[in-house]
Amino acid sequence: MVDTIAITGATGFVGAEVAQRLTTAGKRIQALIRPESLRKKPADIAANWIEGSLDDLPSLRLLVEGADAVIHCAGAVRGATLDQFRRANSKGLAHLIRAAVDRQRSPRFLLISSLSAREPHLSHYAASKREGERVLAGQSGRMPWTIYRPCAVYGPGDREILPVFKWMANGVAPVLGSGNGRFSLIFVKDLADAVNNWLDQDCCHSGTYELHDGHPGGYSWHDVIGTFRRLRSNAVIRIRIPLVLVKMVARVNLLTARILGYAPMLTPGKVRELSHPDWVCDNASLSSASGWLPKVLLPEGLKRTLNQVGI
Ligand SMILES: NC(=O)c1ccc[n+]([C@@H]2O[C@H](COP(=O)([O-])OP(=O)(O)OC[C@H]3O[C@@H](n4cnc5c(N)ncnc54)[C@H](OP(=O)(O)O)[C@@H]3O)[C@@H](O)[C@H]2O)c1
């Protein structure tokens, strides 16, 4: 029986939703929090907050103490160098695995990886996520583990897709290149449900699983804009942004970030991810291993997201 869960990343978009879901399910939560992020502690999560970080092994030992399961939602999603991504996505993960494996009775371990790990050559982010998966497979010993590879996650609190929805609410949709590339999406609450379902299984279904909202063949940006228009009945003008221009801006942004020392989102690697033609995935193996099925398709998820953020 999985009663006590250690979680990382509970101050972030995905982790906060997962921790909220576990709070609702009545689970006991031990959540890692960085001292500099104490002000971000979400009020609706009932947890024993452990101050520390993925660089700090003693705090990770405290975090996993007495836990039946560990859920690693923390991750670096922006950065200027491979090392900045590795810090959380592979090196930090290795510390967390070490803390878990060193316990007399190892907890089960769920890594929230990313569909981008399927294409590690595209960006430092994608490479670090794939590296993290390898670290888990190589260093877990007899600890049972599962890897989830969600596609693009959206919902209130997201910082990547939500800004585009906000643009659309103002009547403008930026479309990168042809906009014909296809990608899967998942509403954040469905992802949190999948994590809760993993905890409710008698044993941990080991392996690597992709997750999306179940819409076959995914979406293109034109589909997303069409869904938005039907939902809001407001005119949305498509503005096509040439790839070459975005690549240039990304290069300048990366250079500026390296000089000024901030973690950039728009980098040449991110542009390669965004312009990759196929980010479509499939739930079949996860559903047959666990019985989990997504519930929220884009029209419903978009409606709930816009309502919740008040646009
Ligand atoms: N969002 C998506 O569309 C998406 C899709 C697929 C996979 N994922 C994966 O889901 C995970 C969470 O993504 P997100 O969108 O929720 O990102 P996010 O909002 O930026 O949250 C990242 C979380 O990780 C924590 N973190 C980062 N570095 C850390 C470190 N060195 N030590 C301790 N905590 C650290 C952050 O803590 P602070 O609050 O202290 O910064 C925050 O809680 C990532 O692993 C990402 O790869 C996300």
Q: Tell me: the pLDDT tens digits for 3-34?
A: 899 999 999 999 999 999 999 999 999 999 99
On the question of pLDDT at 311 being above 90, the answer is no
Can you give the pLDDT at residue 234?
80
Probe target for ligand 1 pocket from 20, 29, 30, 34, with the most ligand atoms within 8 Å of CB: 34
Q: Is 37 in the pocket of ligand 1 (CB under 6 A)?
A: yes
Q: How far is the CA of 4 from the centre of ligand 1 (A)?
A: 21
> Rounded to two decimals, what is the model's pTM?
0.96
Q: Is 150 in the pocket of ligand 1 (CB under 6 A)?
A: yes
CA dihedral angle for residue 112, residue 216, residue 161, residue 309, rounded to 10 degrees: -100
Ligand 1 atom with the shortest distance to the CA of 75: 45
Can you give the pLDDT at residue 204?
78
pLDDT averaged over the chain? 95
Measure the CA angle with vertex 12, ends 119 and 277; round to 5°.
Answer: 25
Beta strand ranges found along the chain (DSSP E): 4-8, 28-33, 48-51, 69-72, 108-112, 145-150, 152-154, 172-176, 182-183, 185-187, 207-211, 237-241, 278-279
Report the alpha-carbon distance of residue 288 to residue 150 in Å, rounded.
17
On the question of pLDDT at 1 being above 90, the answer is no
Can you give the pLDDT at residue 177?
87
| Stretch among 128-132, 151-155, 229-233 having the lowest mean pLDDT | 229-233
Q: How far is the CA of 235 from the centre of ligand 1 (A)?
A: 34
Count, residues in the chain: 311
Can you give the pLDDT at residue 58?
98
Quick: pLDDT tens for 278-293.
999 999 999 999 999 9
